[in-house]
């Protein structure tokens, strides 16, 4: 581990067991599918067999008549359903689209789009009932490719859609029907002048397929709309509060009428931020007066929950002979799926973030397609844009005959340099990461063998701040109940209590963390954006300070001294001035906890805070791989991920996050992709044919933690979970060239595509 002026911590940096671990490995953890309620019935969704079709009519009469069926729902059951494709004001359009994605409005916009739902005594009856629903479709030609969708004459998804412009000086044909939902631009300096200064200019185009998050637990939700008007929802979500608010928006009921209880979550990676089943279960519950539970089959997960965007990129970079980048001009188009809102905005801001480039234009295009609406997926948008940039840089390094790390070091962004938006960076660890890569034994090792190659690339992600809330109670024995609003997808029930224990000087084990429902803690934004250990840690630190202050007040009362004369030690001891006889006065944390009830009551504190000082983070990856020229198959021989993690609160879980991100990135580089037939049908909606890597596809993924503490956090935390998915695609692509001399311009570089190049 590379450490720079690392403070000495007692708890932070240790590796205690996570509190949810035993329940998970023994099968006791309660996931949404485990939920049992008195009178529970089961809901299922009928999905469109067509990628693009007008829904002329839906007849549910026969389904409703089937014995055991309690309720049927369609888009018409969502308030405000207008069955219209008229142009809407932006805010209203978003609400309309959110509802229409859950159950189709006037059109089915992708294969697997929900069309109607039923609730019945059991799932078998529900499925029989779905087969009795008669839907009349008028089939339309679909468009599933980003570039096709921008062509004149392409099928149009939304007749009311006009291009929104978020940049000055961008021409758009905003009076005509289009699939181009928005066009944004970031611009700095003078690119024309910049390219004139360049000795070498390289321009390349890239595409990538849609990739799914691939979480193991399918989406699920249960709802009980009781007769007093209160709606209770149990769901697998990355954000109980966002799920609550989105449900309220679609059902048009007050937020306070909904309580969302987050269940254990079996993976999300961004894909469990949107809601899919909650409003349907709610409507079915209201109609049936019964609690309704729903879950998706795996095929529905692939068909109808967010993959990440497919992409088209064009990147032009000019450099001097010395390797200094003089200008960059990038265009990124991303497929949003059926409704506007691809992650292109974030991708645009990340594309050039590792580098200090004075002259740059970065364009982002958001394009609708007849594919599932994309959802966030680990550093949303960044893997595609940085893949293109890092690939062009590899070609430039080759043309300059320069070490690819040296080329990056010659341009690396440092504190004070400005990013694409013009904002100066605070302390960041990009340079430290590159230096750690360059001196890493992996990079220094020889590579040998036929068709074996090495590649490197770096990646960047902002990380998120946003709002988090928690409350804490000190019990009479000194144990502490810590109630958190953040659902735990990555070990935050360990990483947040560790920070509170550090603050208070108590043990990790005496803090009992719990994730609770939306009625029982303050508003907390989603667990996403690598924000939770950062923001949750901030709140835990603030709660710790409040507890320390109150503990001093209580000791002051007992000793009858001014609280200002009392100190709180790093070991959690409360020390006062010596008494009249000169004896030392002090309490351990637990001793004083035992006196709280007689000095004003047990301590209960709560805090909500929103810090915008999250630290951006960089990672750099090195891979050695071997290509089988006969089959096109790639074997990963060695993989090293170097990353600035700020402070590794729990190093094992940090390493696990990085290894997980790398594994997913390798999947994107080599085998994962949505495969559509000519009619827009998704043909590989299963884990058999959507090929995420299995354990024996990968070697041990080595992790090198670089710790450049975030100055905007009491313990220097930077988010760690998203950066590692960014570099693998270009890292592997660059190594493929080293191995077999072929430059690839599409991901995944599946065996089929490799053979296409070699044969």
Partner 1 sequence: MQAVKYARAADIDDAIRLLAEGGDKARILAGGTDLIVQARERKRDVDLFVDVKHVAEFMSLEYDDSSGLTVGAATPLYELYGDKTVQEKYPALVDASTVIGGKAIQGRASLGGNLGNSSPAGDSLPAMIALGGIATVAGPNGSREVSVAEFCTGPGRNVLESGELIVSINFPAVSDSEGAAWQRFIPRNEMDIAVASAGTWIKLDGKVVADARIALGAVAATPLVATGAAEALIGNELTDEVISNAGDAASSIASPITDMRGSVKQRTHLAKVLTERTIRDALDRINSQ
List of residues contacting partner 1 (CB under 8 A): 124, 127, 630-633, 670-671, 675, 683-684, 687-689, 691, 693-694, 696-697, 750-752, 755-756, 759
Nearer to partner 1, 499 or 664 (CB): 664
Cα angle value 280/286/290 (rounded, 5°): 100
Sequence-ordered list of residues with C-beta below 8 angstroms from that of 633, at least 6 positions apart, any chain: 627, 751, 754
Instruction: Give the CB-side neighbour count of residue 483, counting CA atoms within 13 A.
Output: 17
Residue 529 · residue 466 · CB < 8 Å: yes
In the complex, what is the shortest distance from the CB of residue 185 to partner 1, in angstroms, rounded to a whole number?
37
Nearest CB to partner 1, comparing residues 17 and 683:
683
For residue 656, the minimal CB distance to partner 1 (Å) is 22
C-beta of 15 vs 691, nearer to partner 1:
691
C-beta of 672 vs 704, nearer to partner 1: 672
Write down the least CB distance from residue 674 to partner 1, Å.
9
Name the residue among 651, 543, 486, 490 with its Cα closest to residue 12. Answer: 651
What's phi and psi for 454, nearest 5 deg? -125, 145
Pick the closer one to partner 1 by CB: 122 or 322: 122
Query: Nearest 5 degrees, angle CA 266-CA 267-CA 270?
Result: 145
- Closest to partner 1 by CB, 675 vs 737, is 675
Please, which residue, 220 or 750, has the CB nearer to partner 1? Answer: 750
Minimum separation from the CB atom of position 414 to partner 1 (A)? 41
Tokens 């309220």 sit at which residue? 248
Least distance (Å) between residue 436 CB and partner 1: 31
Provide the edge-to-edge strand list for the sheet that holds 164-166: 164-166, 180-188, 360-368, 325-337, 311-319, 200-208, 746-747
Which of 255, 694 has the CB closer to partner 1? Answer: 694
CB of 337 to partner 1, least distance (A): 19
In this structure, are residues 604 and 543 in contact, taking their beta carbons and an 8 Å threshold?
no
Q: How many CA atoms lie within 13 A of 329 on its CB side?
A: 13
Contact call for residues 120 and 91 (beta carbons, < 8 A): no
Q: In angstroms, rounded to a whole number, what is the distance separating the alpha carbons of residues 70 and 44?
A: 12
> In what helix (H) or strand (E) does residue 326 lie, and over which residues does it extend?
strand 325-337
Q: Give the residue with the Cβ less far from partner 1, 17 or 131.
A: 131
How would you classify the pairing of strands 634-644 and 701-707?
A: parallel
Considering the complex, state which of residue 3 and residue 123 has its C-beta at the smaller distance from partner 1: 123
Nearer to partner 1 among residue 51 and residue 670 (C-beta): 670
Cα Rg of the chain (Å, integer): 27
Q: Taking the complex as a whole, how short is the minimal distance between the CB of residue 204 and partner 1, in angstroms?
A: 25
Shortest Å, Cβ 48 to partner 1: 17
Distance in angstroms (rounded) separating the CA atoms of residues 258 and 240: 11
Q: How far is the CB of 137 from partner 1 (least distance, A)?
A: 21
- If one counts every other C-beta atom within 10 angstroms of the C-beta of residue 475, the result is 16
- The CB-of-41 to partner 1 minimum distance in angstroms stands at 17
Q: Which residues pair with 481 in a beta bridge?
A: 473, 512
Kindly state the smallest distance separating residue 735's Cβ from partner 1, in Å. 18
- Cβ-based neighbour number of residue 218 at 10 Å: 20
Cβ distance 577 to 561 under 8 Å? yes
Is the Cβ of residue 414 or residue 677 nearer to partner 1 in the bound state? Answer: 677
Which residue number, 352 or 670, has a Cβ lying nearer to partner 1?
A: 670
Backbone angles phi, psi at 662, to 5 degrees: -65, -45
Judged by CB, which is closer to partner 1: 523, or 675? 675
Helices assigned H by DSSP within 4-52: 21-25
Can you read off the two tokens belonging to residue 250? 């679609």
Show the tokens assigned to 734.
Answer: 């660059």
Best CA proximity match to 521, nearest among 481, 576, 476: 481
Distance (Å, rounded) from C-alpha 350 to C-alpha 459?
9
Nearer to partner 1, 175 or 630 (CB): 630
Q: What is the distance between the alpha carbons of residues 580 and 502, in angstroms, rounded to a whole number?
A: 33
CA dihedral 223, 227, 229, 230 (to 10 degrees): -50
For residues 180 and 258, what is the distance between their CA atoms, to the nearest angstrom?
Answer: 36
Nearer to partner 1, 66 or 755 (CB): 755
Cis check: omega of the bond before 205, within 30 degrees of 0: no
Nearer to partner 1, 595 or 691 (CB): 691
Q: Minimum CB separation from partner 1 for residue 66, in Å?
A: 13
Output phi, psi for 223, to 5 deg: -140, 145
Min dist. Cβ of residue 676 to partner 1 (A): 9
User: In Å, what is the CA distance from 143 to each residue of 98, 148, 367, 563, 649?
Assistant: 21, 7, 11, 70, 46
Minimum distance from residue 63 beta carbon to partner 1 (Å): 16
C-alpha dist (Å) from residue 109 to 29, 92, 94: 37, 19, 16
Q: Per residue in 562-601, is it b (16+ CB within 10 Å) or e — as a string?
A: ebeebebeeebebbbeeeeeeeebbbbbbebbeebeeeee
Residue with tokens 């905005």: 345
In whole angstroms, the minimum distance from the beta carbon of 621 to partner 1 comes to 21
Please state the closest distance from residue 23 (CB atom) to partner 1, in A.
24
To partner 1, the closest distance from the beta carbon of 208 in angstroms equals: 17
């Amino acid at each position: 581990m590379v450490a720079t002026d690392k403070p000495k911590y007692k708890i932070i940096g240790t590796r205690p067991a996570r509190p949810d671990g035993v329940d998970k490995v023994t099968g006791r953890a309660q996931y949404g599918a485990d939920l049992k309620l008195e009178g529970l019935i089961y809901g299922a969704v009928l999905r469109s067999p067509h990628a693009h079709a007008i829904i002329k009519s839906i007849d549910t009469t026969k389904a409703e008549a089937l014995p055991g069926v309690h309720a049927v729902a369609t888009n018409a059951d969502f308030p405000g359903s207008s069955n219209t494709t008229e142009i809407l004001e932006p805010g209203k359009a978003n609400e309309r689209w959110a509802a229409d994605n859950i159950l189709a409005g006037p059109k089915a916009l992708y294969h697997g789009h929900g069309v109607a739902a039923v609730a019945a005594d059991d799932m078998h009856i529900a499925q029989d009932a779905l087969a009795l629903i008669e839907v009349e479709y008028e089939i339309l030609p679909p468009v599933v490719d980003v570039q096709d969708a921008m062509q004149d004459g392409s099928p149009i998804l939304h007749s009311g859609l006009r291009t929104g412009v978020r940049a000055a000086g961008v021409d758009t044909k905003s009076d005509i029907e289009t699939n181009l939902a928005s066009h944004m631009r970031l611009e700095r300096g003078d690119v024309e002048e910049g390219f004139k200064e360049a000795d070498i200019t390289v321009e390349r185009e890239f595409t990538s397929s849609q990739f799914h998050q691939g979480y193991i637990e399918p989406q699920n939700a249960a709802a009980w709309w009781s007769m007093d008007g209160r709606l209770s929802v149990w769901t697998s979500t990355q954000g109980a509060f966002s799920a609550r608010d989105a449900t309220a928006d679609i059902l048009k009921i007050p937020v306070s009428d909904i309580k969302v209880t987050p269940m254990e979550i079996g993976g999300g990676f961004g894909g469990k931020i949107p809601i899919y089943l909650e409003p349907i279960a709610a409507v079915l519950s209201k109609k049936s007066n019964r609690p309704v539970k729903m879950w998706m089959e795996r095929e529905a997960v692939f068909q109808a929950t967010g993959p990440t965007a497919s992409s088209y990129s064009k990147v032009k970079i000019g450099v001097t002979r010395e390797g200094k980048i003089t200008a960059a001009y990038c265009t990124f188009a991303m497929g949003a799926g059926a409704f506007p809102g691809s992650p292109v905005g974030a991708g645009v801001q990340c594309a050039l973030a590792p580098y200090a480039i004075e002259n740059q234009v970065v364009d982002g295009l958001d394009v609708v397609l007849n594919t599932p609406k994309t959802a966030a997926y680990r550093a949303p948008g960044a893997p595609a844009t940085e893949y293109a940039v890092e690939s062009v840089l590899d070609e430039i390094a080759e043309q300059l005959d320069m070490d690819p790390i040296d080329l990056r070091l010659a341009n690396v962004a440092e504190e004070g340099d400005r990013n694409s938006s013009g904002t100066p960076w605070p302390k960041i660890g990009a340079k430290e990461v590159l230096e750690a890569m360059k001196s890493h034994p992996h990079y220094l090792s020889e590579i040998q063998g036929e068709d074996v190659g090495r590649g490197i690339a770096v990646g960047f992600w902002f990380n998120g701040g946003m709002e988090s809330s928690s409350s804490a109670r000190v019990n009479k024995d000194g144990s502490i109940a810590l109630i958190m609003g953040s659902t735990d997808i990555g070990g935050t029930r360990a990483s947040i209590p560790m920070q509170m224990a550090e603050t208070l000087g108590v043990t990790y084990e005496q803090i009992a963390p719990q994730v609770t429902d939306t009625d029982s803690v303050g508003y907390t934004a989603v667990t996403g954006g690598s924000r939770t250990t950062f923001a949750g840690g901030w709140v835990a630190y603030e709660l710790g300070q409040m507890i320390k202050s109150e503990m001093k007040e209580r000791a002051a009362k007992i000793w009858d001294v001014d609280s200002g004369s009392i100190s709180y030690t790093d070991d959690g001891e409360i020390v006062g001035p010596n008494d009249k006889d000169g004896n030392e006065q002090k309490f351990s944390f637990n001793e004083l906890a035992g006196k709280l009830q007689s000095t004003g009551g047990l301590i209960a504190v709560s805090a909500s805070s929103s810090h915008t000082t999250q630290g951006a983070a960089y990672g750099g990856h090195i891979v050695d791989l071997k290509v089988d020229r006969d089959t096109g198959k790639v074997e990963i021989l060695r993989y090293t991920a170097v990353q600035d993690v700020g402070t590794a609160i729990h190093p094992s879980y940090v390493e696990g996050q990085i290894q997980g991100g790398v594994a997913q990135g390798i999947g994107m580089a080599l085998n994962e992709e949505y495969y559509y037939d000519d009619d827009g049908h998704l043909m590989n909606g299963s884990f058999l044919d959507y090929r995420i890597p299995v354990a024996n596809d990968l070697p041990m993924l080595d992790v090198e933690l670089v710790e450049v503490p975030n100055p905007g956090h009491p313990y220097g935390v930077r988010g760690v979970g998203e950066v590692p998915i960014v570099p693998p695609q270009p890292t592997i692509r660059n190594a493929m060239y080293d191995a077999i001399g072929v430059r690839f311009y599409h991901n995944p570089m599946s065996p089929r595509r490799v053979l296409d190049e070699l044969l």
